[in-house]
Structure 1
Amino acid sequence: MKKRWSFIILVMIICLIGGCSHAKEEPLIQDKYRNYYEIFVYSFCDSNGDGIGDLNGVTSKLDYLVDLGIDGIWLTPIMPSDTTHKYNVEDYMAVDSTFGTMEDFDRLMEECNKRGINVILDLVVNHTSTKHPWYLKALDEVKAGKPGKYADYYSFVQNEEEKNSLDDEGGYHSAGIGNYMYEYAFTDNMAALNLENKEVVTEINNIAKYWLDKGVAGFRLDAVRHYCFDQAKSINFLKEFYKYCQTINPEVYMVGEVFSSGSMIETFYETDIDSYFNFMFAKADGRITSNLRGRAGADFVQSLYKWQERISKVKANYIDANFLSNHDTDRYFGVIGKDNIKQKMAASMYLMMPGNSFTYYGEEIGMLGSGHDANKRAPMVWSTESDEEMTTPIPESDNIPTIEKGVKEQEKEKDSLFAFYKKALHIRQQNPEIARGRIEPIELEDKQMGAYTTIYNDSKVIIIHNLGDQTKTITLDTSTYDYSKIQDSLLTGNEKATLKGSEITLPPMSTVILK
């Protein structure tokens, strides 16, 4: 018996010395559902003091992310490029030297795997940099008067009649060779690829295989509605691309960006891709903002339910991609204001929605930024008392509002926005019904209240939001709705939520989870 206890004590000591805290923390369920965190690499964490965020900086913050409740990372483009955002790729199978090396990437993947963190890469296949070898070879062909293989990778025209009718985010620019013009996307240093060309499709498939073989869980697909002039061809390309990636990893996860109307997002779900970002609920003009400002809890739930039913008819097993803001939009807490209560309630609303959550770096500490894109991609504030690990602002930045407390300061405060995010994200992890279930609204007389059930594998939770500015008590029959306790709560003040029999009391601007 003494030997047995000696052995147990020895194992405990070894674990403490060896750092068992870094052991892989398995999610409750191994599937495509995750709490994702978007990292704009340039601005996230500087590991070597050059003022630029890098992959080693990301690796150094993995334990921070796990503690926050994150089990998925979306890395904005890391491939070589002459911009800070890297959306004009010069080489699809390399790492930009300012971010590190491929060995640094491999180490990041290894450390993520230890912690059960899935990594998805931003894959930009709508266009390349005008410095990409494909484009340079295309120019050589055009200059020689023999447009061939690489010229066909792009779209070159010589007169107005040949142009496609592009939207306001693209156009044609002189190639500097006679009358030749090339189609571009967003800015003239981004030459649009011809995704109807089978050789281009093969190139893109090879790129995807390269990164999937390195262990990434999937991709965030940029600007998918711009892929082809004919939308049906864009949808077909995505269908085939997804099928190809599934041959490499049957569990590959993809989320697409359709920065447009709900009807277009709905249409793109025909591609069978897992997720599209839910722009209908995000940003300054989304449902979360309007319902939060209008204290319309019931309207919020009805909107959520109608969206679910609408998309489910196109793709029954879709995974919504919920967010407040990202690198292209004004930071959300500049939209909703510095009101800490509204900040927390907005977070509660989107983090309790079914699907995957996507938290933009710095959102958890209330970072601000609007106007020029560079302002929305400001340095992560690790501390307001020290510049250690912080990056320098992107040169084009012209207005970066300050926040009073960074990560270091907010980690110490139990009522901080960081603490609220941490609790909400862990609630999602501990209650798989929230992300994976389909909602059924619960009708309440008080329209400032929004309530719904969500069921997964015969297990149910009830989520109730009080968007009002007063404490409210409602009655929900325990036998009808099959619950026995307050599983958890998200509170914006000091008052607690209570359950007495079938009477639930919610403080103002709060959320309860019943089970």
Structure 2
Amino acid sequence: MKNIFIVISILFTFSIYGCNNVEKLENNVIICEEQEIINLKITKITEDSAKITFETAKESIPYINGQKISEIPLKKHYYYVTNLIEGKENILNLVVDNITKEVSITTKEKGIDYSKNSIYLDNRVFYQIFVRAFADSDGDGIGDFNGITENLDYLEYLGVNGIWLMPINKSKNYHGYDVTNYYELDPSYGTMDDFKKLLAEAEKRDIKIVIDMVLNHCGMRHEYFRTARRGEDSPYRDWFSWSNEKKGLGWEENGADGKYYYAAFWSEMPDFNFNNPLIVSEVKNIMDYWLEIGVDGFRFDAVKHLFEENHEKNKQFWYEMRKSVKNSNENAIMVAENWMESAFVAQYFEEFDMNFNFDLGTMIINTINNGFDCSLVETMKLNYGEFKKYNENFIDAPFITNHDQKRVMSEFLVAKNKMYLERSMKQMKQASVILMTMGGVPFVYYGEEIGQTGKKPDENIREPFDWYKNKDGKYMTSWMKKSTVKEINTIENDGISVEEQKGIDGSLLEHYKKLIHLRKTESLMGNYNINKIDFNNKKLYSYSKDGENSKIIVILNLDKKENIEIDLNEKFQNKKIFDIYNNSVIENKITINSLGFMLLKIKD
């Protein structure tokens, strides 16, 4: 049998030796047919890696340079070859059923700047959606893709131009973080055609969609793990971590064989063993698949946990993931969940476009609840400086709370009566003012904009989105009827619904809408140049967002009872001051109501 030589040069010129039939030479891909290997393709060529895909005449376990590229016999194969020599010819031995073929790959010189962040992130506000709870289009009580598509007008009205969809893959449990098939959608959310329609309609509105990518673990009912747990000779055994004894927290008994597998978060979500190159290759292929479907990027779950014992190894893994994603789509969005202090999170700005800022949300809530300065501005200045050490062009991802935390309204609401509800709505407005005047790309959790409440357990933080005052009507979901946890926060006629707030001057929904639209027109609101202003009153919290010739002034009255008068002339003598929130020129002396705020603009 003749050897096959495939040479791919930096200039994308090709030489083929020993191929009896070349079917195509298209889009820098060679397709070569031979007896043992059919449709051989080499794609995603970088300076040090390439993706090889091919079919074999019969089910086989091929090897490249002695490394298995699958654990079980298959006819279709893909594999990511890494650690190639940059800009050089690399000879690989591809062995199929004891027949060796040589593949020559000439890698690219370094082209893509992997430190470059997505160009699509400027001036965006993202909206986090739990699909099951958001909008039901077909009356089965479960939120779905079509429900989101049919309510893109609402999101446009609000002003958001990015969506983060919580897990949409097939899974066993309601939350979706126990994935049972990474290539399939949760059937209760709709079909692939439904999902593609959502992507297409969002694109028409310039709304970017990122999906949750859960890589640390899968569900125990995934075929990977179902096969792995059958015994040590299982082809997927080494895709997970095993022990002969219970080493401590997270080690779960497998059952009949007496072995233990590692599952950091829950016994039904076994962790992958990313020391195995086969699962690394599989993960890259999963991300390729969804980028080809048309998603704009990923929110990566539990980033720090993949190599929890080896921080440098963890960062190297994510650098490889960044290269893979950016070579598929240079503008794909990558946002990381690292629920850690900011000094730790800072390091991951080398691998991700954005990192969620958990510290900020806590400081926003504490400042407003405590009624005094919690060093928010000073801390953010330090954090921004730390982030910049790792990436000159870092993009922070500020938020207040998300699907794992008590809802922000419940952080403020002492009792659900009229007096406390009115007070908490004011505090929500203050919290959102801080959020929307922080640097980066803000994220809003669905229902936050109308003041939905919710405390642990998690199900009560993820209750149905409240479209109507009577809890009944088109798009209202009822997914919790099948839950063991009772729905307790979605209450009729409590003032917390889209119907009760849309178009109502002074409502929380209209406030969020105004802030989001202001953020798009007033670029200073989203910059990182923040400085504290001291009005010599502990109940006044103020800071500026500074530009070259102007600045935005944020002033909050944290007092729960008293109005406060301020003479702005003491700080800004002879300056023309404009109230950008109320669209008016103001005098030097102003009064800020209890739990009120002002957003001012001053030009030098």
SS at match of 2:147: helix
**Which residue number in structure 2 is paired with residue 341 of structure 1?**
426
2:398 is aligned with 1:322: yes
In 1, Cα distance between equivalents of 2:182 and 2:372: 46
Deviation at 1:402, TM superposition (A): 3.8
Q: 2:315 aligns with which of 225, 231, 235?
A: 235
Q: 1:258 aligns with which of 338, 349, 367?
A: 338
**Which residue number in structure 2 is paired with residue 474 of structure 1?**
568
**Which residue number in structure 2 is paired with residue 93 of structure 1?**
183
Instruction: Say how many residue pairs are matched.
Output: 462
Q: 2:500 aligns with which of 409, 414, 417?
A: 409
**Which residue number in structure 2 is paired with residue 332 of structure 1?**
408
SS at match of 2:211: strand
2:452 is aligned with 1:367: yes
Q: 1:159 aligns with which of 224, 239, 245?
A: 245
**Which residue number in structure 2 is paired with residue 391 of structure 1?**
477
Deviation at 1:375, TM superposition (A): 0.4
In 1, Cα distance between equivalents of 2:213 and 2:553: 35
**Which residue number in structure 2 is paired with residue 305 of structure 1?**
381
* Distance change (3 Å), C-alpha of 1:276 and 1:109: same
**Which residue number in structure 1 is paired with residue 524 of structure 2?**
433
2:564 is aligned with 1:488: no
**Which residue number in structure 1 is paired with residue 37 of structure 2?**
none
Q: 1:173 aligns with which of 247, 252, 255?
A: 252
2:198 is aligned with 1:108: yes
User: Which is worse superposed, 425-434 or 445-454?
Assistant: 445-454
Quick check: which one's strand share is greater?
Answer: 2
Quick check: which one's helix share is greater?
Answer: 1
In 2, Cα distance between equivalents of 1:115 and 1:154: 42
Q: Deviations over 1:245-265 (max 9, x none)?
A: 111222222111112333332
Deviation at 1:479, TM superposition (A): 9.1
**What is the TM-score of this pair, normalised by structure 2?**
0.72
Is residue 258–residue 276 contact of structure 1 (8 Å, CA) maintained in 2? yes
**What is the TM-score of this pair, normalised by structure 1?**
0.84
**Which residue number in structure 1 is paired with residue 598 of structure 2?**
511
User: Which is worse superposed, 398-407 or 312-321?
Assistant: 398-407
Amino acid paired to 2:327: T
In 2, Cα distance between equivalents of 1:355 and 1:484: 28
**Which residue number in structure 2 is paired with residue 47 of structure 1?**
137
* Distance change (3 Å), C-alpha of 1:360 and 1:31: closer
In 2, Cα distance between equivalents of 1:506 and 1:316: 38
Amino acid paired to 1:214: I
Deviation at 1:422, TM superposition (A): 0.8
Q: 2:441 aligns with which of 342, 356, 359?
A: 356
Amino acid paired to 1:369: G
Deviation at 1:401, TM superposition (A): 2.3
Mapping for residues 216-227 of structure 1, pairs under 5 Å = 216-227=295-306
User: Which is worse superposed, 195-204 or 370-379?
Assistant: 195-204
* Distance change (3 Å), C-alpha of 1:59 and 1:460: farther
Is residue 498–residue 505 contact of structure 1 (8 Å, CA) maintained in 2? no
In 1, Cα distance between equivalents of 2:212 and 2:123: 18
Deviation at 1:352, TM superposition (A): 1.3
In 1, Cα distance between equivalents of 2:579 and 2:274: 49
Q: Which has the larger radius of gyration?
A: 2
**Which residue number in structure 2 is paired with residue 191 of structure 1?**
270
2:545 is aligned with 1:450: no
* Distance change (3 Å), C-alpha of 1:43 and 1:402: closer
Is residue 297–residue 466 contact of structure 1 (8 Å, CA) maintained in 2? no
Is residue 272–residue 315 contact of structure 1 (8 Å, CA) maintained in 2? no
Deviation at 1:122, TM superposition (A): 0.5
SS at match of 1:38: strand
Is residue 406–residue 456 contact of structure 2 (8 Å, CA) maintained in 1? yes
Q: Deviations over 1:376-420 (max 9, x none)?
A: 000011001351211114213235224513101211311111111
Amino acid paired to 1:327: H
Q: Deviations over 1:276-309 (max 9, x none)?
A: 2111121xxx111221234335833223222222
Deviation at 1:463, TM superposition (A): 2.8
Deviation at 1:363, TM superposition (A): 0.7
In 2, Cα distance between equivalents of 1:464 and 1:503: 16
Q: Deviations over 1:62-88 (max 9, x none)?
A: 000010011000000100011111101
In 2, Cα distance between equivalents of 1:96 and 1:513: 47
In 2, Cα distance between equivalents of 1:32 and 1:499: 31
Deviation at 1:435, TM superposition (A): 2.1
Is residue 242–residue 273 contact of structure 1 (8 Å, CA) maintained in 2? yes
Amino acid paired to 1:79: N
Q: Deviations over 1:1-50 (max 9, x none)?
A: xxxxxxxxxxxxxxxxxxxxxxxxxxxx9545420000001111111010
Amino acid paired to 2:188: T
**Which residue number in structure 1 is paired with residue 233 of structure 2?**
146
**Which residue number in structure 2 is paired with residue 288 of structure 1?**
364
**Which residue number in structure 1 is paired with residue 39 of structure 2?**
none
Q: Deviations over 1:71-110 (max 9, x none)?
A: 0000001000111111011111121100001100100000
* Distance change (3 Å), C-alpha of 1:514 and 1:477: same
Q: Deviations over 1:154-190 (max 9, x none)?
A: 1122224xx4x65xxxx12222231221111311111
In 2, Cα distance between equivalents of 1:399 and 1:107: 31
Mapping for residues 6-85 of structure 1, pairs under 5 Å = 30-85=120-175
Deviation at 1:326, TM superposition (A): 1.0
Amino acid paired to 2:314: S
Deviation at 1:226, TM superposition (A): 1.3
Q: With CA pairs under 8 Å and 6+ residues apart, which has the higher RCO, 1 or 2?
A: 1
* Distance change (3 Å), C-alpha of 1:209 and 1:335: same
In 2, Cα distance between equivalents of 1:30 and 1:479: 40
Amino acid paired to 1:183: Y
Q: 2:553 aligns with which of 460, 463, 480?
A: 463
User: Which is worse superposed, 257-266 or 345-354?
Assistant: 257-266
Is residue 305–residue 441 contact of structure 1 (8 Å, CA) maintained in 2? no
User: Which is worse superposed, 37-46 or 300-309?
Assistant: 300-309
SS at match of 2:184: coil
Amino acid paired to 1:309: G
In 2, Cα distance between equivalents of 1:421 and 1:463: 18
Amino acid paired to 1:67: Y
In 2, Cα distance between equivalents of 1:476 and 1:122: 49
In 1, Cα distance between equivalents of 2:177 and 2:353: 22
Q: 1:132 aligns with which of 216, 222, 227?
A: 222
In 2, Cα distance between equivalents of 1:498 and 1:473: 15
SS at match of 2:357: coil
In 1, Cα distance between equivalents of 2:331 and 2:565: 45
* Long gaps (5+) in structure 1: 1-28, 491-495
**Which residue number in structure 1 is paired with residue 356 of structure 2?**
277
In 1, Cα distance between equivalents of 2:557 and 2:315: 39
SS at match of 1:80: strand
In 2, Cα distance between equivalents of 1:429 and 1:194: 43
SS at match of 1:280: helix
* Long gaps (5+) in structure 2: 1-118, 414-420
User: Which is worse superposed, 328-337 or 296-305?
Assistant: 296-305
